[in-house]
């Protein structure tokens, strides 16, 4: 399974004819991570055929309904489907208080555990880590406590060059040691350096999700140089005052963050129902940062 990002919904609070509330599924290193879970998430996932067999962690950026109203339906359906693996929801503590009574009432016999990892949105810290992936919070500026998430692959081991194995008659049992950085010593005492025996692996991928937030330069050092930045772009320039009032960003502000943080690619999302033509957002962002795309619902982006 290659790294990919499926956009379930990229609208903002009021759903429109074509935009659903926020939700994504990131697949990274053979695992799936859900990011936000607006109403209808399970339905859209079902419609576009997102398999959920490796989805054990859900990250909720903040407790506005368009980012979490889909949770109860999803968790309930998983119960009916006989899921047995635990799921961990990473969110602010209030979510546990709000969701637990619903789970008790609507899903009293859930065959799996819902664990809550109560996160602090005020500082950047690692909230999830396994052998190959690390997730940290990104404090955002919004009307309620809110954070984005930085998903980082851990470095992969370098690739052994098959021809070298043959040339130096290297036993397979030595390969793991070489991959971890060791040299190889031949029977005649010659030392073949690690670098000669291996090709470096692809650089670890880094994906930053930042929704919802006002323009916020404190983000810059946290997301410096990421491969992909999903940044909210609720409004076009025309509604800059609304962005300020509601602590959202314009597409141009998102692009400015992307540029200043030297990210490789920017994806705009979280579009207001008031913006009729997303092309306007794209145009305004591209004036600042060329490598920008518009998120599209039900699309799978290879990373």
Among 3, 22, 26, 40, binds a copy of itself (CB under 8 A): 40
Listed ranges 37-45, 118-126, 191-199, 218-226: which one lies at the site for a copy of itself (CB under 8 A): 37-45
Determine, following the binding rule CB under 8 A, whether residue 276 of this chain makes contact with a copy of itself.
no
Is 227 considered catalytic here? no
Give the total of residues touching a copy of itself (CB under 8 A): 32
Among 4, 31, 54, 69, binds a copy of itself (CB under 8 A): 69
In angstroms, how far is the first alpha carbon of the chain from the final one? 11
Contacts of 59 (CB under 8 A, 6+ apart): 33, 34, 35, 36, 90, 91, 127, 128, 135, 149, 209
Choice between 4 and 16, CB closer to a copy of itself = 16
Choice between 63 and 299, CB closer to a copy of itself = 63
Determine, following the binding rule CB under 8 A, whether residue 39 of this chain makes contact with a copy of itself.
yes
| Minimum gap (Å) between residue 114 Cβ and a copy of itself | 15
Among 35, 55, 60, 72, binds a copy of itself (CB under 8 A): 72
Determine, following the binding rule CB under 8 A, whether residue 94 of this chain makes contact with a copy of itself.
yes
Which residues ranging from 201 to 240 are in contact with a copy of itself (CB under 8 A)?
none
Taking phi first (over 0 means left), then psi (-120 to 50 degrees means alpha), and beta for anything else, what does residue 68 get? alpha
Among 5, 7, 8, 20, binds a copy of itself (CB under 8 A): 20
Which residues ranging from 162 to 191 are in contact with a copy of itself (CB under 8 A)?
none
Listed ranges 13-21, 113-121, 166-174, 233-241: which one lies at the site for a copy of itself (CB under 8 A): 13-21
Which residue bears the tokens 């518009």? 294
Compute the CA torsion angle 147, 229, 276, 59 (nearest 10 deg): -40
Contacts of 300 (CB under 8 A, 6+ apart): 4, 5, 6
Cβ pair 242, 40 in contact under 8 A: no
Contacts of 86 (CB under 8 A, 6+ apart): 56, 112, 113, 114, 115
Determine, following the binding rule CB under 8 A, whether residue 46 of this chain makes contact with a copy of itself.
yes
Determine, following the binding rule CB under 8 A, whether residue 246 of this chain makes contact with a copy of itself.
no
Contacts of 259 (CB under 8 A, 6+ apart): 288, 289
Angle at 58 between CA 55 and CA 64, to 5 degrees: 145
Provide the binding-site residues for a copy of itself, judged by CB under 8 A.
13-17, 20-21, 39-40, 42-43, 46-47, 49, 63-65, 69-70, 72-73, 76-77, 80-81, 94, 98, 101-102, 105-107
Q: Write out the catalytic residue numbers.
A: 66
């Amino acid at each position: 399974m290659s790294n990919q990002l499926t956009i379930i919904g990229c609208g903002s609070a009021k759903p429109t004819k074509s935009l659903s509330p926020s939700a994504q599924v990131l697949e990274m290193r053979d695992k799936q991570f859900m990011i936000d879970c607006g109403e209808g998430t399970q339905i859209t996932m079902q419609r576009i055929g997102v398999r959920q067999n490796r989805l054990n962690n859900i990250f909720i950026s903040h407790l506005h309904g368009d980012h979490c109203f889909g949770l109860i339906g999803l968790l309930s359906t998983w119960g009916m489907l006989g899921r047995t693996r635990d799921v961990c929801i990473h969110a602010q503590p209030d979510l546990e208080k709000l969701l637990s009574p619903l789970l008790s009432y609507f899903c009293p016999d859930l065959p799996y555990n819902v664990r809550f990892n109560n996160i602090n949105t005020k500082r950047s810290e690692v909230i999830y880590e396994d052998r190959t992936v690390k997730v940290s919070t990104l404090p955002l500026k919004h009307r309620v406590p809110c954070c984005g998430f930085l998903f980082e692959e851990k470095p992969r081991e370098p690739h052994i060059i098959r021809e070298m194995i043959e040339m130096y008659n290297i036993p397979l049992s030595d390969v793991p040691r070489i991959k971890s950085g060791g040299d190889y010593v031949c029977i005649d005492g010659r030392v073949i350096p690690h670098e000669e025996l291996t090709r470096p692996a692809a650089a670890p991928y880094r994906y930053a999700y930042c929704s919802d937030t006002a323009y916020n330069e404190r983000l810059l050092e946290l997301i410096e140089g990421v491969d992909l930045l999903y940044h909210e772009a609720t409004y076009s320039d025309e509604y800059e005052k609304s962005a300020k009032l509601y602590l959202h960003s314009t597409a141009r502000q998102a692009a400015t963050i992307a540029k200043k943080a030297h990210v490789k690619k920017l994806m705009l999302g979280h579009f207001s129902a008031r913006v009729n033509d997303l092309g306007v957002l794209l145009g305004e962002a591209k004036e600042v940062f060329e490598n920008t795309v518009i998120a599209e619902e039900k699309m799978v982006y290879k990373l």
